[in-house]
Structure 1
Amino acid sequence: MKIARLAALGLLVFSPLALAHPGHAVHGFSAGFMHPLTGLDHLLVMLAVGVWAGKIGGAARWQLPLTFVVVMALGALLGMTGYSLAPIETLLAASVMALGVLLVVSFRLPRLLQLGLVALFAVLHGLAHGAELSSGQGAYVMLGMLLATALLHGVGVSLSASRLPRLVQSVIGCTMIVLGACFLAV
């Protein structure tokens, strides 16, 4: 469990700010794998989904991450077709803030609403990723992104399963709210 915590901390410390959006060249499996790890907004959302799923417990530990990965793939495919949402950066920043709130505030939501929120966040991140994929290597890039996303969800669930103190979850959530606001300001 200590290794998972150190890995998560290392990812946060060495990740540059929101650079995982349209306008960056992305080619091949390794670039796709690194993509979610090199944008702080993506990194935080992927980890937070895992922490939130672990906090909820039970079947949510696999349902929320699986929903995110599947819907993100569908969003990426949609993005590859040219579909986009004009304020995508604003929506991504809002997803960081919303997940921060979900980590800070402890209120029970129906499972369908939990899955719906995760799906919404996933389709937004998928659209942002898909807009960058080249048609020639899109499958390899997407495979790398999906694998990195699933691994980050797993790290988040592991952090939560290690009895992550409530205070630490609140600090992570508050940090996400502040960073999301900073992303909105940029």
Structure 2
Amino acid sequence: SGLDHMSVMIAVGLWAALKGGKAVVAWPLAFVGVMLAGGTLGMLQVPVPFVEPGILASVVALGLLVALAVDLPVSAGVAIIGLFALFHGHAHGIEVPENAGGLGYMAGFAVATALLHAAGLAAGLGLGIRFPGLARAAGGACAAVGAGLIFGVL
């Protein structure tokens, strides 16, 4: 359904907004960059183990990181986000429609991802700073979506 991907993209933006500083730029850029590398691997049919479980784990984990307002160093956040981005990118890469050009397709999912990160950032910076409980509740909702997907409820 894409709900898993959308939830994670918004969660990255929310978490970056809650962290502030360099994370506002570094975490979304890390996701997009590593996602493009994963997409390339997928398009080349290079196997990456545990893609689907990794995607589902990313929904729960990033949701919890937001819900609990976990404050990690920017570099640790980049590593976590990068790992999950590899799985998301690989899934996009192996799903390239036959009639799509590779570069155009990759540009499309990179821009869509960046826009979803921006939506999460905007919500986090706009509401999350004044009402951090709302941003954290959105993280909880993301984790709940992940659990629902894992258990086949969604």
Match of 1:149 in 2: 113
For structure 2, list consecutive stretches of 5 or more residues without a partner in the other structure. none
Match of 2:103 in 1: 139
Superposition pairs for residues 30-45 of structure 1, below 5 Å? 39-45=2-8
Identity of aligned residues (%): 38
The structure 1 residue matched to 2:135, chosen from 150, 153, 169, is 169
Deviation string 1:127-178 (CA, Å, 9 cap, x unpaired) is: 1000111465111111111011111111111111113222212221121112
Alpha-carbon distance in structure 2 between the residues aligned to 1:67 and 1:148 = 15
The structure 2 residue matched to 1:124, chosen from 87, 91, 107, is 87
Q: After the TM superposition, which parts of structure 1 deviate over 6 Å for at least 4 consecutive aligned residues?
A: none
* SS of structure 1 residue aligned to 2:127: coil
Alpha-carbon distance in structure 1 between the residues aligned to 2:147 and 2:140 = 11
Q: Tell me if 1:70 matches 2:33.
A: yes
Superposition pairs for residues 1-186 of structure 1, below 5 Å? 19=1, 39-134=2-97, 137-164=101-128, 165-186=131-152
Alpha-carbon distance in structure 2 between the residues aligned to 1:87 and 1:183 = 16
* Aligned AA (1:166): P
Alpha-carbon distance in structure 2 between the residues aligned to 1:81 and 1:173 = 34
Deviation string 1:59-99 (CA, Å, 9 cap, x unpaired) is: 11111111111110000001111123353222111100000
Quick check: 2:11–2:66 contact (8 Å CA) kept in 1? yes
Quick check: 2:26–2:74 contact (8 Å CA) kept in 1? no
Deviation string 1:84-116 (CA, Å, 9 cap, x unpaired) is: 335322211110000011111133212211110
- After superposing the two structures, state which structure 1 stretch, 84-93 or 174-183, moved more: 84-93
Alpha-carbon distance in structure 1 between the residues aligned to 2:105 and 2:144 = 30
TM-score, normalising length: structure 2: 0.90
Quick check: 2:11–2:62 contact (8 Å CA) kept in 1? yes
Alpha-carbon distance in structure 1 between the residues aligned to 2:47 and 2:31 = 18
Quick check: 1:84–1:131 contact (8 Å CA) kept in 2? no
- After superposing the two structures, state which structure 1 stretch, 132-141 or 94-103, moved more: 132-141
Quick check: 2:58–2:84 contact (8 Å CA) kept in 1? yes
Deviation string 1:24-78 (CA, Å, 9 cap, x unpaired) is: xxxxxxxxxxxxxxx1111111111011111111111111111111110000001
Match of 1:35 in 2: none
For structure 1, list consecutive stretches of 5 or more residues without a partner in the other structure. 1-18, 20-38
Aligned length: 149
